Every structure is written in C-alpha cells, then in structure tokens.
Amino acid sequence: MSKKLIPKAAARLKGLLRQRDGALTQQLVLQPAQFGLGKVPSRLVPDNTTTVICGFCATGCGLTVHLKDAKAINITPATDYPVNLGMACPKGWESLAPLQATDRALTPSLRNAQGTLEPTDWDTALQTFCLRMKAIQHQHGSHSVAFISTGQIVSEEMALLGALTKFGMGMVHGDGNTRQCMATAVTAYKQSFGFDAPPYTYQDFEESDVIVLVGSNLCIAHPIMWQRVLRNKRKPEIIVIDPRRTETAVAATQHFAIRPKSDLVFFYGLAHILIRDQWIKPDFIKQHTEGFEEFKAHVVQFPPEYVASVTGINTEKLETLARLIGQKERVSFWWTMGVNQSHEGTRVAQSLINLALMTGNIGRPGTGANSITGQCNAMGSRLFSNTTNLLGGHDFTNQAHRQKIAEHLSIDERFIPAENSWAYDQILAGIESGSIKGLWIIATNTAHSWLNQQKTQELLSKLDFLVVQDMYHSTETAQLAHLILPAAGWGEKEGTFINSERRIGLVKKISKAPGQSLSDFSIFKLIAQYWGCADLFQKWSSPEAVFQLLGRISRGQPCDISGILDYQMIDEANGIQWPYREGDQLSDCHRRLFENGEFFHPNKRARFIYESPRPVPEPCDAEYPFILLTGRGTSAQWHTQTRTAKSAVLRSLYPAEIYVEIHADDAKRLGIRSGDWVRVFSRRGQVEAQAFLTAAVFPGQVFIPMHYATANQLTLNSMDTYSRQPSYKNCAVAITLVNGGKKPSALR
C-alpha cells in the first residue's frame, strides 16, 4: 500500500513522532521546555518530586519520584500515601531500572520474507497491521480476529483498546490476562453479591481480630499489605491456609497445611461446625441474605471427621479454628491465587463469602470476604477493559446497557456487539479449530505465562497474523510475532490504576519513552485512524478525557465514579476509592462496601452459593506421583520477568536458575541432593531445574516458581467451570536426577 493512501493518518503520525511527548496524550512532563513543548499546567510541574502509583502489584503503593533536569533519577516510597505509609517492596524501589533496559523495543519490527523480524517505520507497521487484519476479516469474517489485553496498562488505555477493537474494528472476541488472575473472584462476587465488588479497605488488615489468609503468600506477593497486617494493634490471630509452609505461613500465628485442592471441603467443614454450635448471626442472615437454609442442609454432609480425612487437618485444629471464627468480633477472610487458580475456584471463593455472611463478618471494620487483586490495574481491567463485560460493568447482552453506552459515546448502537466474548482459553482453542486467524496481544506474555506452554506456542505460531505490543522485543511472545509494536511503559505515560481496595490512583509521565516507542494510548489512536474508524473516538481525545468519559458511563453502577472530576482531584486526594458519585464528599479515605447490609442483587440480598466438591482433573498416579504447585518465588520477581530481570539489584535477590522445591524425604528416596539438577516431567513436557530441598513443601508435593521461562511446559490445560480461570496450581509430575546431578550441557 502506498504511504500516500492514508494522508490524514500519516500526517497525524508524523506530528506525533515529532512531538511524542506532546499534546496528543497530554502526558505529564516535568520541564516541558526540555522536550520542546509548550506550557504544561503548573500542577504537573512540581519542584523536584512527584507521586505516582507503582506499576507492579495491585497493592498500589504511592512512590515519590525524584527528578533532576526533567528526568526521574530516583524513587522512594511516598510517606503520606494512605496505602503504603512510607514503605515499598524491592520492585517499587527499582521501578526505574526496567525502563532503561537494552532490549526495549525502539521501533516497530516486521517479519520479512525470510522469516526474520526486522525494524520498520511506524507508517509501514500501521498500514501492514490494518491491511493484514482486514484481509483476514474479509476472508474469514470479522470474528476471526481477536485480542488479548492486560491488567498492566492504565484504565484509559485498556478502555480505548476494548472500544476500538469491539466498536471500531468489528471484533467480538477479546479477553485479558486478568482471566489468569482474577476471573474466579469476579465470577464469585458477581454471583454472590450481584456485582464484582471487593468490599474492603486496607485499614481492615489493621482492625481485624482474626485474619484468615487462604492460598495467599502475602509476604512475597503483597509485601506492603503484610506490613499493614503487622501494624494491627489488636493482637490478631493470623491464620494461613496453604499446602506449603510459605514465608507467610511461617510468620503467621497458625498454619493449616491442607492437602492441595481440599479447600472446599475444609470451608464447608468450618461452616458445619459454626452452624452446629450456633456461632452464626441469624438476624444478619435473615435480613440480608438468601439461600441459607439450603446451604445449611448442604454442609450437614461435612462433619469434622470426614473433613479431617480429606484435608489432612485433625478435628481438634478444625474445631479450634471454627471457635475462633465464631467467637471473635472481627474476622476477615482474604484469598488470592491458591483459591482463584483451581478447577473449582469460584465455589471455593464463595465458600469463604458464605462464612463471612453467616457470621455477619462483612460491612464492619476488620471484616470481609476479600479477594486480593494481583496486577497493578487488574481491577481497572475488570471494570473498564470492555472484554468480559461492557464498559463500566455493563452487560453486552442487555439492550438497555448497549443503548446507554452508545449514547454516552455518541456512536451507533449497532457497533456494540450483543454477544459475550470468548474467554482466553476459548480464543486459543479457536486458533486450533481455525476460527481465529489473527491475534493482537497487548502487555501480556502469553507464550510464557499460559498453561501447557509448548502447545500454546504451537498455536501462536499457527496464526496468519500475530501482533505483539510490548515494551520489549525480546519476550517469548514477541519473538513469535509477525509484527511488534513498541510501547512506552509505566512511568512513560499517564493514566489511572485501580488497586485492590478499589482506590483509583494516578500514574504520571516521569521518563521519556525510548526510541520511537509510543504510549499504548497513542498506538490505539493511530490504529483507529489508519483503520478508518477514528470518527468513533473523537471524544477519546486524551487519557484524562477518557477518564471523564468512563466516569459518566459508570453513573448509576456500583462502581460509579462520576464524582471524580479530573486527575488533579485524584492526585490531591491521595487516590479515591470507588464508588464516588457526583456530589459525594470525601470524608474518609478508607471506605468499605456493604455497611448498610445492602448487596447489589435486585432484592439487595447476598446469596449463599455452594456445590459438591469435584475431584482434581489430573490426580497423581504411579507414573506421575507428585503434585506440582506453582506461584510466586520472591518479592523481587515479577511474572515472566521481562521487567524485574532488568534490575541488577533485583537479580541479586533471587536464584538465577530455575529451581524446584522438594521435601527432603522425597529427595532422599530419589537420590537427589540439594543443588542437584533434576528433570521434572508431566504428560505435557519436561523441565530441567535445580533441586532445592526444603520443609516448605510437604512430601508428595513440589513447587516451581512461575517466573522461569519453562515452568508452564508442565501445567495442565484445565479451568474453573464458571470463571474459566486456569488451574495453574495442580497437575501430576514425576522427577528424576539428570546428568548425575550436574547441570545439563544444553543449559550451560
């Protein structure tokens, strides 16, 4: 295609590249003259520090950025931010290092006729993007192109992506890495409360008498939330329910090392005792819930002896825990991936919600059924990515909702799909069946982080056209792409994140994006222009304009943020939790939901939801006798390590080589000593790793951190029935010593 064909778009691109830090994205810069820009409002130009929200986990710490000559030179934890109160974990302190990495994608890259990725210019990249995607749609239908989004870009960008693809480009199928992470909590909350609404504020960590952490390694995965637990002055009981003796289990007051995936039986067993001994709140149950009598009949089947036989926890410990939950005034239940990533995770999450409801532990300080969020903006993606629900927690299949959104966006209602998208695993299955031919992956590293890696990589390689939009050209997924679009990262653009306690916080531009990389926002705007649908997005002129648009769209929803007028208001308030309706006053910066006992179902009642436990999809047998658990390794490692591996400080805080934790008794039986290289097999693949002998895992179980490139070679393609979230934490493996315990030469 000639470059002249889309003169308007090309002109816009030129202008944008000339003044990349300028008006289009209204990015926050510190000394505008330095970047050859005009005047920037003074609120964006603080003396020599500014506060931004961390771009790693969903704790959402405030970080103080120190600037010299308009460049961020250092980061310290913000002392006055209500989330972290002057603390940060190693990743937060090292936030600037990943920006300076040598493998940043500096220009778009296009695979040439020889199959090699080579640099190209933006105009060619964008024309190729549109030509090839449109050709696929022309030949195979508009649904044959899909996208996979993320919980790690700002809400304004993910909303624009979801709107562009679904309203502008005719796609129906688009999901995000939030599926790997939060889908179970979302589904559980929606079914139980009527809306995806984590009810808590971090203050609840400090105000609880009993803190029950289920499948959550808080010390590693949310270290600053753990610091909030330590600030609790009520001498709380800290209960950890995790098959592994994790850092958090060791620091807790009690550890219940239940057998993997016996959670549902365990919590139904607790409900059984609480009902038997009448440690429940009949008034609360009667006034604010439904389905309790049926639930009561259900848990009769889970007496303590039976529960002990399934979970491995003796009846005495079980009774003691139930008494604690029943008798203490403020009990809070918190869960993370040990619950969400399970073949029956939705029901496990609901078994915790049920415990909170029946004991009246919700809507009061120090209580709640609280799902802890993973990625910095997973909560933003749950509400505003336009993937699993229509913008702002609306429903694609509801005509009134489509009409409302169309009106707000001033677009024709027929541009809004009336059907739900396929989930992540269904999109991948669609590649296999031939119905998905083109895929656009943004800010997630599928080829590393999805299940059954070899198969996943084969599927990605099968696509007619794979576009990867990332900060780095070196990721496992980018290396499979036909086209790489180079993106600015956290700190190189502006927008908002929503943290785990529903707090909306501001991310600012504190560093210049390298080479020709552009903010995701700018890339999406350009694609709209090249595609020919820019007229639909006139209102989406800047991240702040989009934020205000989302505020208007959210009006009347449980996540109503129509009262937040602009970025300045968020900045000055040190973040604002949703809901914040028009006319609301910010009287308290720690707000929780359901204080009036009203939930979001039409009858305002929460529901008791339950089901019989089901066997795991791949039980151990003689050939594969170990259960493989996976998860986070250290507080210094982030997921697929594209960012954290770029910091020398962080690299010094974790093992360079992939390792497998194994119990000393099992190791001895297999002739394995600590530090030996072993091969871990599953039905899907094999991984060479260094053995780490430890009492943290129990006999018959092994643990491999997800951060190393090959970990997901082993995992099983299995999902929760309702949330379709992958069950990363349970499959059967075998282990043998390899190469006499020495590092295999192929790995040297």
Ligand X SMILES: Nc1nc2c(c(=O)[nH]1)N[C@H]1C(S)=C(S)[C@@H](COP(=O)(O)OP(=O)(O)OC[C@H]3O[C@@H](n4cnc5c(=O)[nH]c(N)nc54)[C@H](O)[C@@H]3O)O[C@H]1N2
Binding site for ligand SF4 (CB under 6 A): 54, 56-57, 59-61, 84, 88-89, 91-92, 222-224
- Closer Cβ to Mo ion, 181 or 629, answer by number: 181
* Shortest distance (Å) from residue 93 CB to ligand SF4: 7
* Shortest distance (Å) from residue 186 CB to ligand X: 13
* DSSP output for 297-360: HHHTT--HHHHHHHHS--HHHHHHHHHHHHHSS-EEEEE-HHHHSSTTHHHHHHHHHHHHHHTT
* Shortest distance (Å) from residue 482 CB to ligand X: 16
- Closer Cβ to ligand X, 57 or 506, answer by number: 57
Could you tell me the two tokens for 687?
Answer: 């991984």
- Closer Cβ to ligand SF4, 88 or 467, answer by number: 88
- Closer Cβ to ligand SF4, 385 or 637, answer by number: 637
Q: Count other Cβ atoms within 10 Å, centred on residue 435.
A: 17
- Closer Cβ to ligand X, 197 or 447, answer by number: 447
647 binds ligand X (CB under 6 A): no
- Closer Cβ to ligand X, 109 or 445, answer by number: 445
Could you tell me the two tokens for 466?
Answer: 């794979």
The residues facing 468 across adjacent strands are 441, 484
526 vs 401: CA distance, rounded Å: 28
Q: Which does 554 bind (CB under 5 to 8 A by kind): Mo ion, ligand X, ligand SF4, none?
A: none
487 binds ligand X (CB under 6 A): yes
64 binds ligand X (CB under 6 A): no
* Shortest distance (Å) from residue 64 CB to ligand X: 21
* Shortest distance (Å) from residue 79 CB to ligand SF4: 14
Q: Which does 127 bind (CB under 5 to 8 A by kind): Mo ion, ligand X, ligand SF4, none?
A: none
Q: According to CB under 6 A, which one of 185, 442, 483, 719 is a site residue for ligand X?
A: 442
Q: Which does 577 bind (CB under 5 to 8 A by kind): Mo ion, ligand SF4, ligand X, none?
A: none
Q: According to CB under 6 A, which one of 92, 274, 631, 689 is a site residue for ligand X?
A: 631
Q: Count other Cβ atoms within 10 Å, centred on residue 734.
A: 20
374 binds Mo ion (CB under 5 A): yes
* Shortest distance (Å) from residue 100 CB to ligand SF4: 18
* Shortest distance (Å) from residue 88 CB to ligand SF4: 4
194 vs 605: CA distance, rounded Å: 9
Q: Is 111 helix (H, G, I), strand (E, B) or coil?
A: strand
Radius of gyration of the chain from its Cα atoms, rounded to whole angstroms: 25
- Closer Cβ to ligand X, 6 or 349, answer by number: 349
345 binds Mo ion (CB under 5 A): no
Q: Which does 469 bind (CB under 5 to 8 A by kind): ligand SF4, Mo ion, ligand X, none?
A: ligand X
Cα separation values, 219 from 158, 230, 489, 638, Å = 29, 11, 26, 14
* Shortest distance (Å) from residue 337 CB to ligand SF4: 15
380 binds ligand X (CB under 6 A): no
User: Measured on CA atoms in the order 102, 462, 714, 720, is the torsion positive or negative?
Assistant: positive
* Three-state DSSP string of 484-542: EEEECCCCCCCEEEECCCCEEEEECCCCCCCCCCECHHHHHHHHHHHHCCHHHHCCCCC
H/E stretch holding 221 reads: helix 218-221
246 binds ligand X (CB under 6 A): yes
**Cα-to-chain-centroid distance, residue 60:** 12
Q: According to CB under 6 A, which one of 93, 472, 600, 608 is a site residue for ligand X?
A: 472
Q: According to CB under 6 A, which one of 27, 165, 332, 444 is a site residue for ligand X?
A: 444
650 binds ligand X (CB under 6 A): no
User: Measured on CA atoms in the order 534, 15, 47, 646, is the torsion positive or negative?
Assistant: positive
Binding letters toward ligand X, positions 271-310, x by CB under 6 A: ----------------------------------------
Binding letters toward ligand X, positions 171-210, x by CB under 6 A: ------x--xx-----------------------------
* Shortest distance (Å) from residue 624 CB to Mo ion: 26
285 vs 279: CA distance, rounded Å: 12
* Shortest distance (Å) from residue 473 CB to ligand X: 10
* Shortest distance (Å) from residue 471 CB to ligand X: 4
Number of residues near ligand X (by CB under 6 A) = 59
* Shortest distance (Å) from residue 487 CB to ligand SF4: 20
The single-letter code of the amino acid at 633 is G
What's the helix, strand, coil split of the chain in %, to 5? 35, 15, 45
Q: Binding segment for ligand X among 386-394, 427-435, 627-635, 655-663 (CB under 6 A)?
A: 627-635
- Closer Cβ to ligand X, 206 or 470, answer by number: 470
* Shortest distance (Å) from residue 568 CB to ligand SF4: 22
Q: Which does 620 bind (CB under 5 to 8 A by kind): ligand X, Mo ion, ligand SF4, none?
A: none
Token look-up 């792409």 returns 481
- Closer Cβ to ligand X, 198 or 374, answer by number: 374
Site residues (CB under 6 A) for ligand X, limited to 520-539 = 520
What is the DSSP pairing of strand 254-256 with strand 237-241?
A: parallel
Residue 545, judged by CB atoms within 10 A of its CB (0-12, 13-18, 19+), counts as middle
Cα separation values, 695 from 197, 418, 654, Å = 37, 52, 19
495 binds Mo ion (CB under 5 A): no
459 vs 242: CA distance, rounded Å: 34
Cα separation values, 161 from 154, 166, 522, 730, Å = 11, 8, 11, 33
214 binds ligand X (CB under 6 A): yes
* Shortest distance (Å) from residue 116 CB to ligand X: 21
Q: Which stretches of 414-467 are DSSP H helices?
A: 424-433, 446-449, 453-462
H/E stretch holding 717 reads: none
Cα separation values, 254 from 249, 313, 317, Å = 7, 12, 10
Residue 142, judged by CB atoms within 10 A of its CB (0-12, 13-18, 19+), counts as middle
- Closer Cβ to Mo ion, 58 or 714, answer by number: 58
336 binds ligand X (CB under 6 A): yes
Site residues (CB under 5 A) for Mo ion, limited to 177-206 = 181
226 binds ligand X (CB under 6 A): no
* Shortest distance (Å) from residue 365 CB to ligand X: 24
Cis, peptide link before residue 32, omega less than 30° from 0? no
Q: Find out whether 640 and 707 touch, Cβ atoms under 8 Å.
A: yes
694 vs 167: CA distance, rounded Å: 52
Q: Which does 489 bind (CB under 5 to 8 A by kind): ligand SF4, Mo ion, ligand X, none?
A: ligand X
- Closer Cβ to ligand SF4, 497 or 681, answer by number: 497
Q: Which does 29 bind (CB under 5 to 8 A by kind): ligand X, ligand SF4, Mo ion, none?
A: none
- Closer Cβ to ligand SF4, 61 or 533, answer by number: 61
Q: Find out whether 138 and 516 touch, Cβ atoms under 8 Å.
A: no
Question: Closest Cα to residue 659, out of 708, 624, 626?
Answer: 708
Q: Binding segment for ligand X among 217-225, 412-420, 506-514, 585-593 (CB under 6 A)?
A: 217-225
Using CB under 6 A as the criterion, which residues of the chain lie in contact with ligand X when the complex forms? 57, 152-153, 177, 180-181, 214-217, 220-222, 241-244, 246, 260-261, 263, 336-338, 341, 374-375, 442-445, 448-449, 469-472, 475, 487, 489-490, 520, 629-632, 635, 637-640, 642-643, 706, 711-712, 715, 728-729
Using CB under 5 A as the criterion, which residues of the chain lie in contact with Mo ion when the complex forms? 181, 374
